[in-house]
Structure 1
């Protein structure tokens, strides 16, 4: 995978400008999230990392959370704001390169109840992000990661053209690394084969 390209805002701006769409949020996904992560209407603060055009962000807002979505793509954030303008809920959006920009003031230490990474963590500097996540979350806070399980070789041929690469996901070593950073780490499947999973991480070591 050409990691540098997939961390470049220009790549994602071009993809979203050409109308690229990604995996839609399903009713099963929403139900499973609500089973594992507690959202208290009007009280729970959620940050959605790599929010794209905000479908998952808006869903979290409809659950009653106050949600801030961040994405590297200005085009995606512009679309997210437009799509959210006529909907009820508490969703806001900002452009942010998680891998290189300064941390926004909104992400003060121990200020966030839930951090979500829906099909986005594999594009991030994982050690840097998880170190920050431990600081941002409240003592009982949760990091919720949705990812595909990537069994392809590391040197697989990257996707070509302006279309975004199909989500590679995290491999077994990356998943184990994540879970080792938290005292409470559980996962659940979103498909029978276990190719798409969610991690629920709480109480950092």
Structure 2
């Protein structure tokens, strides 16, 4: 991570989740995701940096066997309180600092998702790991906040993460940085969901 962007501990995120409003899953995002990813009931999935689990629960509602991963105690508490069910689980994992969980085995997943978290992570390394976890026909989906290249709030650091005008807990990437994601993947698709967010869909890691 860059030296110019604040680093957040699990305790920082605990405080934020104690007061923040959940980021809802919109019908527009859900419909576009289903068209892009072509889900089937019974698929296996991992939802990285799942937060309080809105998207994790949506995947489970579509019939996927899904585990949501996060390192924030408060987020996971909220996720588990919101409901459990067959095929839905949560696990604590610091994606940047901890070893990869044994549950994330090579060629074991159909879908991996990560909403709004890539700018906080070592995403080049993460995308390499995700490529190994996915089955040959597997899909990676990310929802990413974006800022304009000339946005004065968007000064980037060594890995290119950019602070969002909404505040440090809403970090973003530039469109140029989003365009550079996907090295090593045979298929790459992006589409706009709002003025300040886009989706990235990667397939066929080589």
> Which of the five TM-score ranges fits, normalised by the shorter chain?
0.7 to 0.9
* 1:151-171 residue CA offsets vs partner (Å, 9 max, x unmatched): 233269968xxx972422222
User: Please, what TM-score do these two structures have when normalized by structure 2?
Assistant: 0.86
- The 1:94/1:24 distance shift into structure 2, 3 A limit, reads same
Question: 5 Å matches for 1:1-80?
Answer: 3-6=5-8, 8-16=9-17, 18-41=18-41, 43-80=42-79
* 1:6-54 residue CA offsets vs partner (Å, 9 max, x unmatched): 3x211101111x321243111111111111112211x201100111110
* 1:141-187 residue CA offsets vs partner (Å, 9 max, x unmatched): 1110111212233269968xxx9724222223421221333110011
Whole-angstrom distance in 1 between the partners of 2:88 and 2:187: 28
Q: Give 1 or 2: higher strand fraction.
A: 2
Q: Contact 1:116/1:144 (CA < 8 Å) preserved in 2? A: yes
Q: Deviating runs (4+, > 4 A) in structure 1?
A: 155-159
Structure 1 gap ranges (5+): none
Structure 2 gap ranges (5+): none
Other-structure match for 2:177 = 174
User: Please, what TM-score do these two structures have when normalized by structure 1?
Assistant: 0.86
Q: Contact 1:58/1:89 (CA < 8 Å) preserved in 2? A: no
* 1:102-126 residue CA offsets vs partner (Å, 9 max, x unmatched): 1111100110111101111111111
